[in-house]
Amino acid sequence: MNAKRKSMLNSAIVGRAVKDSFIKLNPIAMMKNPVMFVVEVGTAIVLLMTLFPGYFNAKDDIGFNLTVFFILLFTVLFANFAEALAEGRGKAQADSLKRTKKEITANKMTGSTIKVVPSTELRKGDIVIVSHGEMIPGDGEVIEGLASVDESAITGESAPVIKEAGGDFGSVTGGTRVVSDRIVVRITSDPGESFIDRMIALVEGAKRQKTPNELALSTLLVSLTLIFLIVVVTLGPIAGYLDIDLQVPVLIALLVCLIPTTIGGLLSAIGIAGMDRVTQFNVLAMSGKAVEAAGDINTMILDKTGTITFGNRMASEFIPVGGESVQSVGEWAAIGSLQDETPEGRSVLELMKKLKLNANESLAAGGEFIEFKAETRMSGIDLKDGRKVRKGAVDAVKRWVVAQGGAVPKDLDSHGDSIAREGGTPLAVAVDNRIYGLIYLKDTVKPGMRERFDELRRMGIKTIMCTGDNPLTAATIAREAGVDEFIAESKPEDKIAVIRREQAEGKLVAMTGDGTNDAPALAQADVGLAMNSGTIAAKEAANMVDLDSDPSKIIEVVSIGKQLLMTRGALTTFSIANDIAKYFAIIPAMFILAIPEMSVLNVMSLGSPMSAILSALIFNAIIIPLLIPLAMKGVAYKPMKATKLLRRNILVYGIGGVIVPFIGIKLIDLVVHLLV
């Protein structure tokens, strides 16, 4: 998967980008980028002067005009190529997603009968049955059963995930495959409105809108373009009044070199590439605004259950009482859990494997499994040899043992109270009238959470955990996870309140969650990151969806957001700094014959006025494709203070933006001067 994510370019994407570069020459499309539209208009004017030299009185300049035309044309094409290349990977992914939408059938329940229908006929509210090996025909929620689902078509991850009825892990996506068991699914979307349909539209960029920062920068670029356009338009008449003959192609060359064509040609590519980089990390961004906002996040609100923790209380320790051993507690707990399909039951068997303990599973053969009931608060198994194994709430197991004439170990209550104080749940394990020990159940923090939160802290982002648990349990989880603050016994409105409080202080807030109760907060946050394993409501409320259901993925999202802002700022600085060198190349070339004193400005000692103008134009054109890899990859983000970041930006891209064109134009002139 990593190799797939890192694969930025291939022949198919490049080929499509080349084709789209010409399609984007459509003036209606070009008008969306005012800077490059001005260049295209200038290109058209030079072309007309080349085709009809007599009309424009330019017979002696056909060769020069033709050369200028091709350089300007390639300037526009290179800018279009940058945008098309950035869009290319999204379109390639969209094509892949469309292939997963091949026509499949669904086992639709109609009353007491099952009817096989095309998936396109399914509507919201329909009930379907999906068995082993079958594709899930549409987005929905599991209302009955438990199954392992292969979501690789959506997430790219090969490991299947467990989907079960109830709770926050019952959401399924159309196009995924059931690899074990059987589930009953209620469809939650109509045709064309499914999650995969939204993914296709989003990765194709059809709904991409410019962010506020991008709009502000676009306004700056348009303003600079208008200023230079006014200057160049008035320069011709002024020069004519002074008996200096300035040809229109030369004025157009001056305009194109002075307006910010570099950043103008790369601006769209930077925004699209930012959204695409998020997609490469299996995060679906609903808008570029969300990616950009992530770069300025100050506070992150996290739901606990299913986000920081696995969401199910799992066995973490076997605690013997009354002189018993860990082996004996584990063995009887495992025998009582062999037929227990609940998350707690399965976790007991996993803990046995982890501790490398053995259990005589043959004892359970032919036994009668006793399911958990609210009345008894216990589950277990009645063995064929007459023994009865029970595990459940401590008080319930105590009463059951005493009823059979057994005694309660003296250290049982103290161990049980200790587990409860740490926020865990104790389950007692007994066989007939004898209690062997306790199973320590706790909501386990996902691996690597502490390290990830430490990283967020270094980035200057405060983490706040919200949970409905009591303060004791919340404090334990917060300590294990390493979050900065926690809010216990929180309700949906409490999460919204803390987000609004942070926003009122001028902070940008991110929220991660997966449950229906998280939906209001996800909608309120500046960046709402929903887990793909969560509910439909959570995913619809968020402006990002993590297909891997990894809450710490927000670190990558934040880094990409900061990278997007830094890349845009760096290339803008570089583009504007370029104008200094191009000024010293073209201005002397325009006036040196009429005003010999202007030669003092020819600091690059360029060969001739014609070669100077052409060299500046060529550099202006080729710098765009040379900067495409940087626009696509982004400027590397390293946590640092704003002043240090600004100083680094000016030194690298400001001074570099002045030096590079001086060198580049001079080298190009050495070749061009020989040719002209």
**CB contact burial 254-285 (16+ within 10 A = b; e otherwise):** bbbbbbbbbbbbbbbbbbbbbbbbbbbbbbbb
Distance CA 455, CA 458 (A): 5
Distance CA 123, CA 111 (A): 16
Beta strand 388-393 pairing with 378-382: antiparallel
Task: Return the SS3 of 166.
Answer: coil
| Catalytic residue selected from 139, 276, 303, 579 | 303
- Amino acid, single-letter form, for residue 523: A
- Amino acid, single-letter form, for residue 590: M
Determine whether the annotation assigns residue 376 to a binding site.
Answer: yes
Is-contact 439 391, C-beta < 8 A? yes
Is-contact 488 470, C-beta < 8 A? yes
Q: Is 417 a catalytic residue?
A: no
Determine whether the annotation assigns residue 378 to a binding site.
Answer: yes
Determine whether the annotation assigns residue 514 to a binding site.
Answer: yes
Question: Cα angle vertex 188, ends 184, 194, to 5°?
Answer: 115
Determine whether the annotation assigns residue 374 to a binding site.
Answer: yes
Determine whether the annotation assigns residue 89 to a binding site.
Answer: no
For 52, half-sphere exposure in the C-beta direction (CA atoms, 13 angstrom radius) is 5
Distance CA 142, CA 384 (A): 36
Backbone angle region of 323, left / alpha / beta, with phi > 0 → left and psi within -120 to 50 → alpha: left
Note the maximum CA span of the chain: 119
Backbone angle region of 467, left / alpha / beta, with phi > 0 → left and psi within -120 to 50 → alpha: beta
Nearest in space to 252 (alpha carbons), one of 22, 574, 580, 586: 586
Determine whether the annotation assigns residue 518 to a binding site.
Answer: yes
Determine whether the annotation assigns residue 304 to a binding site.
Answer: no
User: Which residues 6+ apart lie within 8 Å of 186 measured at CB?
Assistant: 125, 126, 127, 140, 141, 143
Is-contact 305 467, C-beta < 8 A? yes
Distance CA 167, CA 178 (A): 19
- Per the listing, tokens 């320790």 go with 317
- Amino acid, single-letter form, for residue 343: P
What is the DSSP code (8-state) at residue 600?
G
User: Using only C-alpha atoms, what is the Rg of the chain?
Assistant: 34
Distance CA 129, CA 147 (A): 12
Strand partners, 546: 283, 531
Determine whether the annotation assigns residue 398 to a binding site.
Answer: no
Determine whether the annotation assigns residue 391 to a binding site.
Answer: yes
Q: Which two tokens stand for residue 99?
A: 């292939």
Determine whether the annotation assigns residue 372 to a binding site.
Answer: yes
Determine whether the annotation assigns residue 340 to a binding site.
Answer: yes
- Amino acid, single-letter form, for residue 595: I
Dihedral angle at the C-alpha atoms of 38, 44, 46, 51, nearest 10 degrees? 180
Residue ranges of the annotated binding site for ATP are 340, 344, 372-379, 391
Q: Which residues belong to the active site?
A: 303
Residue ranges of the annotated binding site are 340, 344, 372-379, 391, 514, 518
Residue ranges of the annotated binding site for Mg(2+) are 514, 518
